[in-house]
Amino acid sequence: MKRQLRSNFPRGSYLWSVRNAHWRALGIPEEDCEKPKIAIVNSSSELAACFSHLDGIAKALKETIRAAGAVPFEIRTAAPSDFITGAGARGAYMLGARDLVTNDIEVAVEGAQLDGMICLTSCDKTVPGQLMAAARLNIPTIMVPCGYQASGEYKGKHVDIEEVFIGAMHAITGNMPVDELVGMSREAIRGPGVCSGLGTANSMHIVCEALGMALPGSAPVAANSAKMFADLRAAGERIVQMVWDDVKPRDILQPGAFANAVRCILAIGGSLNTVKHLQAVATEGKCNVDVYSLFETLGPQTPVLAGVRPIGDHTIEEFEAAGGARALMKQLESLLDTGVATVSGGSVADNLKSVAVANDEVIRPIGKPVAQQPAIVLLRGNLAPESGLTKTGIVERKQRSFTGPAICFWTTDEAIAALKNGTIKPGHVLVMRGAGVRGGPAMGGGASRVVFAVDGAGLGDQIAILTDGHLSGLVCKGLVVAELSPEAATGGPLALVQDGDTITIDLDTRRVDADLTDEQWQQRRAGWRAPVPSHDVGWLQQYRRNVGSLSQGAVLVRTDAT
């Protein structure tokens, strides 16, 4: 016997009657009112290539859901793209839109009491925003990775959006002709989909599968490929059965699932941004998991098994051909919690039974890693009492510690101007602050631009950088410690650092410290005053006033939050 659906109301009742009136006007027959009602979460937009193909995908998915005996309803959300949405408010709308996506979904899906969701995952912030909504609403949900874009070639060399980003900052510092940058920008993107490197978007697509929230074998995938559409049809059929079986996200998002996702990100040296996004999903799902501690403890135990651009030489296409996330999990199988459930209906162990790695040079076995040292390191210290993150890459660093005098900036423009006029010199520790979740707000402030500008100025290996801001998922340049928490805008230690203070970063001890006495800290704290908030209007004002700490994933504070 099929269970009662929450979307169904007694025939002739107020809610049944007004729904029937609307849906008949939309061409939905009365008998369909008794079927499962599935939300297709479509974060589409004509502003960026990341989302430009999603409308066509949604159309194909509707046909599959109808054939499976359910009624599809397409809903829309905000669609932030870093390279487009980052133009306003110093980039604050990028992370700020993540939680807007979550709330868009809540309003549409929870308000209408729909029975399940398929989320069309695309760019950096829409994926975690959709996962957070799934965890919050806790109705049957499947994530469908909608693919990476085709990159290009310029003057006989590979070029993608990462090279354009880096090149832009090289041009600012005078180390690249503008015409060269223009030429690269014309060839970098040759189709729809997310950035082709292993940035935040592809990292989060892999996270979806590692968590068990996407069908096995669906990430990463080329946008609009035959495989992507085959995965889409399988998801459309599966979600209907999940609704009848009442398989919910919190059945899947258990501590073991988060540990599996962390292992996978560590094994590919994925985006630093996955840390806060995974923590946000755990917080929304009320799962008692400290993702930051997982990265800290599992990092030294998890070798890097794949070197995909930008941390290695292999392409995302090669990683997909080698078996993608499922092959990676097969190589990691002995380290994973294989008993956890997934949206497939089977456990991780079930999903991995018949998996063969197509190319074990691209996705290596544990006994033959690309690198033994973790590619992502969590640091603590008197400058990062809660945490700080660095992406070390896979090349063994000869210098694993850095000590130097601080040179401090509150804005990107000030830092870049100092680079141009030579104020920043070899040996400095560049402190870029005021770019956290409240100070940015929403981590706007362009910390990534400063990192690339430093590289463009030829100082990438000669200085270190500390920031409470976040980095592009593609960044892997020099010794950079990001997302120091607590942030400067709330009086975190980074706010109290002054020019000339001696700072030490040590990857082996995993510490970042300023050489200050207790008395110096106390004196400076007594004289500290909170900076005037920037971009303190509209949505960003609401975000700044309500956002929680990074330790909880920077989610918007709820009335039941501690």
Give the catalytic positions in this structure.
Answer: 472
Dihedral pair phi/psi, residue 288, rounded to 5°:
-80, 75
| Residues with Cβ within 8 Å of residue 35, at least 6 apart in sequence | 69, 70, 71
CA 102 to the chain's CA centroid: 14
Query: Is residue 367 packed enough to be buried (19+ CB in 10 Å), middle (13-18) or exposed (0-12)?
Result: exposed
| Pair of tokens at residue 184 | 């690269």
Q: Are 392 and 458 in contact (CB under 8 A)?
A: no
**401-411 core/surface letters (b: 16 or more CB in 10 A; e: else):** ebebebbbbbb
Question: Which residues, listed in sequence order, are joined to residue 151 by a DSSP beta bridge?
Answer: 189
Using CA atoms, how far residue 287 sits from 208, 257, 514, in Å, is 16, 11, 35
- The two beta strands, 479-485 and 502-506, are unpaired
Query: Is residue 312 packed enough to be buried (19+ CB in 10 Å), middle (13-18) or exposed (0-12)?
Result: buried
Residue 163 to residue 153: CA distance in whole angstroms: 11
Dihedral pair phi/psi, residue 200, rounded to 5°:
-65, -40
- The DSSP code sequence of 101-118 is HHHHHIIIIIHHT-SEEE
Q: Are 130 and 121 in contact (CB under 8 A)?
A: yes
Residue 100 to residue 10: CA distance in whole angstroms: 33
| Pair of tokens at residue 365 | 């076995």
| Pair of tokens at residue 152 | 């290009």
Q: Are 127 and 96 in contact (CB under 8 A)?
A: no
Between the two ends of the chain, the Cα-to-Cα distance in Å is 42
DSSP tally for the chain: helices H, then strands E? 21, 14
How long, in residues, is the chain? Answer: 562
Residue 490 to residue 240: CA distance in whole angstroms: 46
Q: Are 316 and 351 in contact (CB under 8 A)?
A: no
Collapse the DSSP code of 308 into the 3-class scheme (helix H, G, I; strand E, B; otherwise coil) and give the result.
Answer: strand
Q: Are 298 and 332 in contact (CB under 8 A)?
A: no
Backbone angle region of 90, left / alpha / beta, with phi > 0 → left and psi within -120 to 50 → alpha: left
Question: Which residues, listed in sequence order, are joined to residue 189 by a DSSP beta bridge?
Answer: 151
Q: Is the dihedral of CA 509, 514, 515, 518 positive or negative?
A: negative
Determine which helix (DSSP H) or strand (DSSP E) holds 92, and give its type and residue range: helix 92-105
CA 252 to the chain's CA centroid: 19
